[in-house]
Each structure stands twice: as structure tokens, then as C-alpha cells.
Structure 1
Amino acid sequence: MGGLLTFGETMGLVAADGIGPLGHAKSFSFGIGGAESNVAIGVARLGGEATWLGRVGPDATGALIASRVAASGVRTLAVTDESFTGLMVRHRRSGEFAQVDYHRSGSAGSRLSPADIPAHEVTNAAILHVTGITPALSESARAAVFQSVETARAAGVTVSVDVNYRAKLWSRFDAAPVLRDLVSRADVVFASPEEAALFASGDTPEALAELGPAEVIVKDGGRGCVALIEGKRFQQPALPVTVVDPVGAGDAFVAGYLADRLAGASPEDRLVTAIATGAFAVTVPGDCEGAPTRDELAFLKGDDVRR
């Protein structure tokens, strides 16, 4: 069996440097960001095999996405679409609050369809990872998610779902039944307490496990995580780090867990790695730039100078 397969929209990321209102920003950086490609990059950086698939536009941003994801060690299947590559604009209004605006309606990524996901890519994977973002983009993207999940289930491929609810993409009312259906088809589920409460009977791992998944991990930021894995409960505290940029921490967490799962690690070790990769990610600006290697995780153990 192969490694991780994931797909979804990756966008260009315009980020204001510094902290304060967007109108007062003096400089900007340009990068890429997307939950699924972030996870693929994180897995690859930790030594796992990862494939990302998505649609990009015939523009410089689309070319940048394809080249940068591939340069990170991810097998990249970028389908060029006639529409534009989506963009997101992010600024830190204060040290505690970040705002992201999306420009993605009708984008190349939103035009993903079931025909874009070859069945053999799914059946040859060890883990299919999807998020709750893609079903919110369009009817065709939603169909791609559910078709690939059913293909994976029929082939005995592990299905991983990160709920990743985005209020700017759809309402709680519209999202809840779709996310509940998606989670009920998964083997591994990641959610925040708030996301779990959207469609489950509560915000605990047990509430999500009632829907069927054997592995449920509730990630709770600075409070660490709680998990229910094959009927056994686990709890892992967060690591104390200096937060530079909180964006991408959840994706890094997922990447750490799935990379260790691919490597055959125990549930305890998967959660330790997930916490460490999530903590490392918040110490570096950007969505995926801070994805650590296994050697770099040593920095979190007090070895802050490598000679």
C-alpha cells in the first residue's frame, strides 16, 4: 500500500507583515496555503509518502503552487483549469486575532470534480485524507469528496477526515448534515470541540465516536488534545512555545498524527508527534513553511542551538 493521498484547493496567500489594521500594513509576503496540501507537506517533511491533487489556474500563482508543493517532497498532481487560482488575504489585527479574506468563488480549485480523482490513486493509498472545506466549495467538489471516500472504503483504505469548518464558506445549518455524513464514513476524525458540537451530540471524542469512526482526536489548541482510539481514551497536553503565527497549527497536528500512523507508531506516540508538530508550526510564520523534519522536533526538547 502507498502513503497518504489528499486533494483540495490550495490558494495564493497574501499576508500583511507585522501586526495592525490591513490599511496600515507597510509590506506583504506572498506564499501558498491550503489545508490538504499543508498536511501533505507536513507528512513528507516527517519522512512519509504523500500525494496532493488539486486544480490550479493557468497563472503564475497556480504555477507557484504546483512547484512549491512538489519541492516539498510531495507527489503533486496539479490539474490546470481555465479559471483563476484562488487567493486569500490575511492580516493580524492584533497579537491575538488574525483575519482571513477569501477570493475563491468560481476559482480553479472550486471546480474540482469526481473525474479528477482517479480510482487507482485512491485504492493504492494507505490513507485517504479529506477535509470539510472541499465539500463547501461547490457541488462538484462535494461529489469528488464523497465518491473518493466510498472508493476508499470499498478498497479497505483508511479514510481520514479533518472537519475544518469554515464559516465564510457555508452556514452551520448547511454544513452540519454534510459534515455528519462525512464523519460517519471515516475511520479517523479530527475536530475542535466547537466543530464537534456542530453535528454530534457533544464536543467530546465519545460523541464523535458514536457516529462510527474508530479513531477520534479532538484538538483543542493551547489545551492540547483528547482522543478516543479503538475504545481507549488518551489525553496529551500542549507544549509551551512562543506563538508567532497560529495559522496552520491544526494541519501540522494532523500531519504529525498521520505520518506516525503511516509509520506504524502507537497511538500514544502519534499524539506526542502531533502535539509537537502543531507546536513547532506556530513558532514560524506561514501556512506550511514551518513544517518540521523529525530532527527539527528536537528544538522543542530544549536543544535550541544546533551546531
Structure 2
Amino acid sequence: MVSRTTFDLLVVGDANPDVIVSGSPRHPAFGQHEQLVPAAGLVLGGSGAITAYGAARLGLRTAFVGRVGDDPAGAFVLDCLRSGGVDVSGCVVDPGAPTAMTVVLVDGDDRAILTAPGCLDRLAAADVPPGLIERTAHVHVSSYFLQPLLAAGLPGLFGLARAAGASTSLDTNDDPAGRWAGLDEALPVTDVLLPNESEALSIAASVSAPTSATAPAPASGTGPAPASKTGPAGSPAETSDAVSDAVSEAAGLEQAVRALAAMGTLPVVKRGGRGALAFADGEFIETPARPATVVDAVGAGDSFNAGLLAALLRGLPLRRSLAVAVACGTLSTRAAGGTAAQPTWEEATR
């Protein structure tokens, strides 16, 4: 840790209550028909908030800057973060728009996410209090595509952070619009990029660095249709095709990761049940997933982020930091909601 700092980590991004509905029907019945589900809960949500909460639980001195409405939902969010040891003195309470709200419908290991953005798109880089960056060792930004004002100011914000001696990281999360645009200026000042596999492919396809020689393979559902399979199910022909598809998918991801690294960032890709993949100094580093009985995967990627940053800020090498991150993401799935089962540093490093 750097002695000049007040905080090890500053997270700038989204925060909202999550209503987690467990055992949701795949297709809820409309027409005023009431359906019963096994469980539901009101918990802290938002990629940024969950990352900040997890980092504080791992022992980092953590601050969070975001926007909430002047309403009970906003008070709930700030109270949750404070109770987790996160400094929220830099948060903006916005009287002009409600707090964002999310409903997560969980069906097994899959989920549907419905978000009312509220004041989310009002957060800007200028909302970060002057002087806070100078007192922080690392600045992390979440949910790039949900916060257009913050996205527009991100290159400047990260530039200020680097000038002050802080490192930077970004988890873009999904782009609901499907455009994946605007990252060309941000990635060169992003020390660590934290996408999942699908996001890595989409971001790499959108930035200017890839060429015809290095462009990633198209994401699932795009590009020409695969050749038809001729063998019966389970035949050598079908088995061979399945292996070929897996190899092509892996090659496409590796090409995407190389393209992202060429933009000047360290790509660390979250792969769920397949662990994690990073590319540094011309070398791929892979960490397998840990065995787990998953109760709820909401926020697992954000807990991964917290674990990786906690390990790197403690000076651990990348390979070991990846293992800690995978452990944090896995352990967070032990209970419903993004923060209920986030591990301590001792749990994550056993």
C-alpha cells in the first residue's frame, strides 16, 4: 500500500437496490395472474457498489462515488455501503431523479436483469470530489455504458489518476444498446480491463486496434452460419465438430484478448465456470474455476473484481492475484445477492 494515500481503492460507478427473485419462472404470467416463488430479497446492487463492498470486506480502505436519489432507495444504498465499511462521503444525493432500481429474476444459474436507470446516467467524472484521486492508490470504474457522462469523461479522469500516481481499472459490464463504442481513448489509460468473455469479444471488435490479421472471431450469433453436421448425434463427425467449435471459440477469445492488450491495457477475462484468463508480457495466464455449489451468481464478477484488485494492491503477482479473484467470485455465490457471501481475505486465500 502507498503511505501517501487515505484510500487503497476508489470505486466510481453504479449503486442501486436489487430485488432478487429466486426460482423465477422463465416466462412470468401476465394477465394479473399471481405466481409464487421460493424466495426474494432486497439487497445492495450495482456493479460498482458490490465491488466496493467486497473490497472493503477484503480489508481495503475503500471509498465509493456514485449518484443516488433523495429517496428511501438511495438511503438504503448508502446505509448498506456504510455498514460494510465503505466511505460514501463523496456520493451525490440527487433530488432531481430517483435512485436506480433493479429486479433480478433468477432461474437456476441463469438470470434476467431489469433496471430502471433513474439518476444513473447523471453521474459524471466531475462528480468525483477534487483531491480525492490524489489520496487514492487505485481508481476503478464500473458500468461504462450505463453512465454516458462518466464514459465521456473517463479518459480525463483516468489521466488525472495516473498523473497522481494511482493505477486504474474498468469493468464496462454489458452495453444494452449493443454498440460497444467509445473506448478507444479510455483503454490506453486503463491499467486493468475486467470483461467477461462475451464483453471481451464485443469490445475487441469495436476498438480501432484489431486488423484483418488480429480481429477476434465473431461472437456467438454473428457471422456466417456454421456448416451443417452430417453425422448422427454422438457420432465421430459430431464429436469432431464440437471439438472444432471449442477450439475456434478459444482462438477467437485469445485473438480478442491480444487485441485489447495492444490498446495498452491488461485484459483480465472472467470465464465463469472456466475460471479466468489474462494476457501480460506476451503470455497467457489461465486460472481454473474452483468447485462450487452455486446458490446465486449475482455479483460474482464484481466480487472477482474486488479480489483481483485487493491482491494486486497487496503486491501479489498476477497469477496468484487471479487465483484470489476466482476464489472471491466463487465464494460469493454461496448466498443470494451480490454481497451476502463475499469472503474475507483469510477465506479467499486459504
What is the TM-score with the length of structure 2 in the denominator?
Answer: 0.77
Task: Compare CA radii of gyration and give the structure with the larger one.
Answer: 2
Residue in structure 1 matched with residue 296 of structure 2 by the alignment: 245
SS in 2 for 1:91: strand
Q: In structure 2, how many angstroms separate the alpha carbons of the residues matched to 1:113 and 1:57? A: 15
Residue in structure 1 matched with residue 164 of structure 2 by the alignment: 155
Of residues 190, 198, 212, the one that matches 2:264 is 212
Contact 1:7/1:130 (<8 A) preserved:
yes
Greater CA drift, 157-166 or 253-262: 157-166
SS in 2 for 1:48: coil
Say what the alpha-carbon RMSD is for the aligned residues: 1.9
Matched letter for residue 278 of structure 2? A
Q: In structure 1, how many angstroms separate the alpha carbons of the residues matched to 2:102 and 2:145? A: 18
Residue in structure 2 matched with residue 91 of structure 1 by the alignment: 105
Matched letter for residue 10 of structure 2? L
Residue in structure 1 matched with residue 141 of structure 2 by the alignment: 130
Superimposed CA distance per residue, residues 47-102 of structure 1 (whole angstroms, 9 cap, x where no aligned partner): 1111111111111110011111011111113211011111111112x324211111
- Overall identity of the aligned pairs, in %: 31
Q: In structure 2, how many angstroms separate the alpha carbons of the residues matched to 1:56 and 1:161? A: 21
Gaps of 5+ in 1: 302-307
Residue in structure 1 matched with residue 87 of structure 2 by the alignment: 75
Contact 1:256/1:273 (<8 A) preserved:
yes
Gaps of 5+ in 2: 30-34, 205-214, 217-252
SS in 2 for 1:179: coil
Is 1:186 aligned to residue 190 of structure 2? yes
Contact 1:224/1:237 (<8 A) preserved:
yes
Of residues 22, 27, 30, the one that matches 2:42 is 30
Of residues 95, 113, 116, the one that matches 2:124 is 113
- The alpha carbon displacement at 1:14 in A equals 1.4
Is 1:9 aligned to residue 10 of structure 2? no
Matched letter for residue 294 of structure 1? W
Q: In structure 1, how many angstroms separate the alpha carbons of the residues matched to 2:274 and 2:23? A: 26
Q: In structure 2, how many angstroms separate the alpha carbons of the residues matched to 1:226 and 1:128? A: 22
C-alpha spacing 1:103/1:43, structure 2 compared with 1 (3 Å): same
- The alpha carbon displacement at 1:15 in A equals 1.8
Residue in structure 1 matched with residue 200 of structure 2 by the alignment: 196
C-alpha spacing 1:135/1:96, structure 2 compared with 1 (3 Å): closer
Matched letter for residue 35 of structure 1? S
Contact 1:9/1:110 (<8 A) preserved:
no
C-alpha spacing 1:230/1:45, structure 2 compared with 1 (3 Å): farther
- The alpha carbon displacement at 1:229 in A equals 2.8
SS in 2 for 1:141: helix
Q: In structure 1, how many angstroms separate the alpha carbons of the residues matched to 2:146 and 2:76? A: 24
Contact 2:109/2:294 (<8 A) preserved:
no
